[in-house]
Structure 1
Amino acid sequence: MPKQAIIEPSIEAINIIDTPIPTPGNREVVIRVVVAGTNPKDWKYPLWTNWAHNSGDDMAGFVHSVGADVYEFNPGDRVAAYHESGKQHGTFAEYAVAPDWTTFHIPEKLSFEEAATVPTAALTAAVALYADMRLPPPYEGGDGNTVQRNKVPLLIYGISSAVGAFAAKLARLSGLGPIIGIAGRATEFANSLADHVVDYRQGEDGVVFAIEAILAKEGLATKMPYVFDAISENGSLETTLRLIDPDGGVVSTVLPPKLFARDRDNYAYPDGVKGINSAVPTVHSTDKDFGYLWSRYLGRLLEDGRLRGHPYEVMPGGLSGVLTALQKLKNGEASAVKYVCRIDETQDLLRSNVLVGKQVSGAEDRPQSHTSSHALRDFPFPS
């Protein structure tokens, strides 16, 4: 019987269980997962909510079956997809489910490994830049190639993360710039994405001074009109607060400042600043049309080469490798890389750090079964 991996809240073990092939809902696609991608939220959500479940959301593979109202996909199609966070049948499995509007075709030339790095991170970046910050998308005012615009500076904190990197790539296609990135270890990769890169390790004052100097050199105002904080913790919120234009600036964060600022009770943007907490799961609820349009557009950008996936590293062992990937993410070992798992490599399930169990009426993967008082229990974590 096909298997799936249930992530234990301790992030010290996973439970690999037998699971029947899912039956798709009317607007759902069942995908035979070739490669599953991992995201920071995949370890955070089980840990912070004390909920053992299959937390994977990124996948690439072949369509197995489709729901009654699905008309764009057929069995055998090569696709990538963003699974609906918090639902059953996540992507750490041999078969997973995604809504048809966040599933998209991928070209033959694109590997499943690279494709699996795209859905969650790229859609998160698109939601932040275009749905929330209302920046001009690449297809407005262009001829299908990079658009040329007047200077529209954009600061991306965490530009070498998957979300930050996709934000930079999309911003470049939109003709925005100069793009200023804040990064750490992955300087070479960050430099390939931005016009200017500043190392956060020089401290908050050093970062602010360096960026103000860059803006002066570019002949721009000393404050940023647009900031995308792809980290939103460990001091990034405080740094970007000092850099945003207090008179009309727009800030998008991937985590809520009221929970992740150092001084949560007193953290506040100036009255003239628009602060938005961008959450990609809205493409499965209030922003379904946006999710549909951008999923299709991502497929087009990947097909014609204007967009590439994120650098990746394969964790060996298939589903049993998911545990290693999540532990490495939790320990902060990832730098400019996404960890992916080839599901067909699932083997050696009796290794000492893997629990093997049997399905019990699907209870291990029911969203309603978990209980937690953590403030982020119901927060839709982005990548």
Structure 2
Amino acid sequence: MKAIVYTQTGDPSVLQIVERPVPRPGAGEVRVRVVVSGVNPTDWKSRRGQGVLSAEVSETIPNQDGAGVVDALGDGVTGFAVGDRVWLHLAAYQRPSGTAQEFTVLPANRVAPLADAASFDVGASLGVPAMTAHRALTVAEDGPNRLHPGALAGRTVLVAGGAGAVGHAAIQLARWAGATVITTVSGAEKAALAEAAGAHHVVVYTEGDTAGTIRALAPAGVNLIVEVAPAVNAALDVAVAAPRASVAIYATDGGGSVTLTAGPNMAANVRYQFVLLYTVGQPALDAARDDVSAAAADGVFAVGADAGLPLRRFTLEQTAQAHAAVEAGVVGKVLIDVAPPA
């Protein structure tokens, strides 16, 4: 089979295509024929030797997310059958074998059924973005720890950066769960994407009084903020927060240090929760996997420009270019076509 590997960290040029034997699943593992592999920022950061995904291994196959078809089952695996459509998550976390290959073997709890309503493109776009969004939407002290239709009814959610992959997923999940969704974006092009994703209100933060506009849309304040740039948005977040609001921080765009003004935050009992998918613990991962699968079965996670998430496609041989595109901050979702669907 064909696989993409790197044996040293560095820029995209360290990625090479090689031939490897088809791996065999061990006990508790599932082998999947990968149809589409998804690329996330954590994938290039790991390749660069940054962050929690870094590991000292002689050979690494990158990419956390993907979708495909169950090809073989290891001993003791239940709930799956050969031929099942599935989506994959955390394929390369604490393991050297991700989805940038024709066949991959994963622990069964990192494999989830992919409903017929969801394409392989959707499946490969879930994983890190959708599960991160799920966690961000379920950390509020007064909110639900699971998502389903009605779980966020009566609540207002602010999604910072609604044109990004996590922001896109957060908009779709929050709306599915019944929230009123406000999002902020930098300009008209991204506003169109956030609207297509399903946000009820889109605020262009480069125009006018952002806090005042959000307060006009949510006079009682925002209950939950899904935050991508806390260093930039700290003052805005507390200005629009409802009493006992939560700010779920999943990235540090704009700087790694955050300055909070104690008085207003204390007065509103604002809660700050940092979110990193890889260390949230298995119960939270299981909840995210199951709720995201249910949402996908309901047709929630549309992708493509018309749904607010343009797709940028590459072949397996072009994995280096795919990584470079994500590293350069391309708008939309980068997917690698590994094999035909059937």
Query: How far does residue 146 in structure 1 lie from its aligned partner after superposition?
Result: 5.5
How does 1:108-123 map onto structure 2 within 5 Å? 108-123=116-131
The alignment status of 1:149 with 2:153, answered yes or no, reads yes
Query: How far does residue 101 in structure 1 lie from its aligned partner after superposition?
Result: 2.1
Question: SS of the residue aligned with 1:249?
Answer: strand
Query: How far does residue 328 in structure 1 lie from its aligned partner after superposition?
Result: 1.5
Given that 1:80 and 1:104 are in contact with CA atoms closer than 8 Å, whether structure 2 keeps it comes out as: yes
- Unaligned segments of structure 2, at least 5 residues: none
Q: Which amino acid counterpart does residue 80 of structure 2 have in structure 1?
A: F
Q: Which amino acid counterpart does residue 344 of structure 1 have in structure 2?
A: A
Q: Distance in 2 between matches of 1:196 and 1:217?
A: 8
Q: Name the counterpart of 1:197.
A: 202
The alignment status of 1:294 with 2:288, answered yes or no, reads yes
Q: Distance in 2 between matches of 1:296 and 1:15?
A: 34
Given that 1:32 and 1:95 are in contact with CA atoms closer than 8 Å, whether structure 2 keeps it comes out as: yes
Q: Distance in 2 between matches of 1:84 and 1:268?
A: 39
Q: Name the counterpart of 1:42.
A: 43
How does 1:227-376 map onto structure 2 within 5 Å? 227-229=225-227, 231-232=228-229, 235-243=231-239, 245=241, 248-255=244-251, 260-261=255-256, 264=257, 266=259, 270-271=265-266, 272-282=269-279, 286=281, 288-309=282-303, 311-316=309-314, 318-332=315-329, 334-335=330-331, 337-344=332-339
Q: Name the counterpart of 1:215.
A: 215
Q: Give CA-to-partner distance per residue, 1:81-133, whole Å, 9 cap, x none.
A: 10252421111111223332231112345321222111221111111111466
The alignment status of 1:187 with 2:181, answered yes or no, reads no
Identity of aligned residues (%): 23
Q: Give CA-to-partner distance per residue, 1:325-375, whole Å, 9 cap, x none.
A: 22112222x22x201011138xxxxxxxxxxxxxxxxxxxxxxxxxxxxxx
Q: Which amino acid counterpart does residue 40 of structure 2 have in structure 1?
A: N
Query: How far does residue 214 in structure 1 lie from its aligned partner after superposition?
Result: 3.4
The alignment status of 1:4 with 2:34, answered yes or no, reads no
- Residues 55/3 of structure 1: CA separation in 2 closer, same or farther (3 Å cut): closer
Q: Distance in 2 between matches of 1:78 and 1:265?
A: 42
Q: TM-score, normalised by structure 1?
A: 0.73
- Residues 247/131 of structure 1: CA separation in 2 closer, same or farther (3 Å cut): closer
Q: Which amino acid counterpart does residue 199 of structure 1 have in structure 2?
A: V
How does 1:69-88 map onto structure 2 within 5 Å? 69-82=76-89, 83-88=91-96
Given that 2:9 and 2:49 are in contact with CA atoms closer than 8 Å, whether structure 1 keeps it comes out as: no
Query: How far does residue 57 in structure 1 lie from its aligned partner after superposition?
Result: 0.6
Q: Give CA-to-partner distance per residue, 1:164-195, whole Å, 9 cap, x none.
A: 11111111122112x21011332112123222
Query: How far does residue 28 in structure 1 lie from its aligned partner after superposition?
Result: 2.5
Given that 1:138 and 1:147 are in contact with CA atoms closer than 8 Å, whether structure 2 keeps it comes out as: yes
Residue in structure 2 matching 1:107, options 99, 112, 115: 115
Given that 2:36 and 2:68 are in contact with CA atoms closer than 8 Å, whether structure 1 keeps it comes out as: yes
Q: Distance in 2 between matches of 1:239 and 1:338?
A: 30
Q: Distance in 2 between matches of 1:169 and 1:10?
A: 33
Q: TM-score, normalised by structure 2?
A: 0.81
How does 1:149-188 map onto structure 2 within 5 Å? 149-150=153-154, 152-177=155-180, 179-184=181-186, 185-188=189-192
- Residues 126/217 of structure 1: CA separation in 2 closer, same or farther (3 Å cut): closer
Given that 2:244 and 2:270 are in contact with CA atoms closer than 8 Å, whether structure 1 keeps it comes out as: yes
- Residues 148/166 of structure 1: CA separation in 2 closer, same or farther (3 Å cut): closer
- Residues 15/175 of structure 1: CA separation in 2 closer, same or farther (3 Å cut): same
Q: Give CA-to-partner distance per residue, 1:136-155, whole Å, 9 cap, x none.
A: 3443xxxxx556833x2211
- Residues 277/217 of structure 1: CA separation in 2 closer, same or farther (3 Å cut): closer
Give the superposed CA RMSD: 3.0
Aligned length: 320
Q: Name the counterpart of 2:137.
A: 129
Given that 1:121 and 1:162 are in contact with CA atoms closer than 8 Å, whether structure 2 keeps it comes out as: yes
- Residues 246/103 of structure 1: CA separation in 2 closer, same or farther (3 Å cut): same
Given that 2:4 and 2:316 are in contact with CA atoms closer than 8 Å, whether structure 1 keeps it comes out as: yes
Question: SS of the residue aligned with 2:48?
Answer: helix
Q: Which amino acid counterpart does residue 119 of structure 2 have in structure 1?
A: S
Q: Name the counterpart of 2:16.
A: 15
Q: Specify which structure has the higher proportion of strand.
A: 2
Q: Which amino acid counterpart does residue 41 of structure 1 have in structure 2?
A: T
Query: How far does residue 254 in structure 1 lie from its aligned partner after superposition?
Result: 0.9
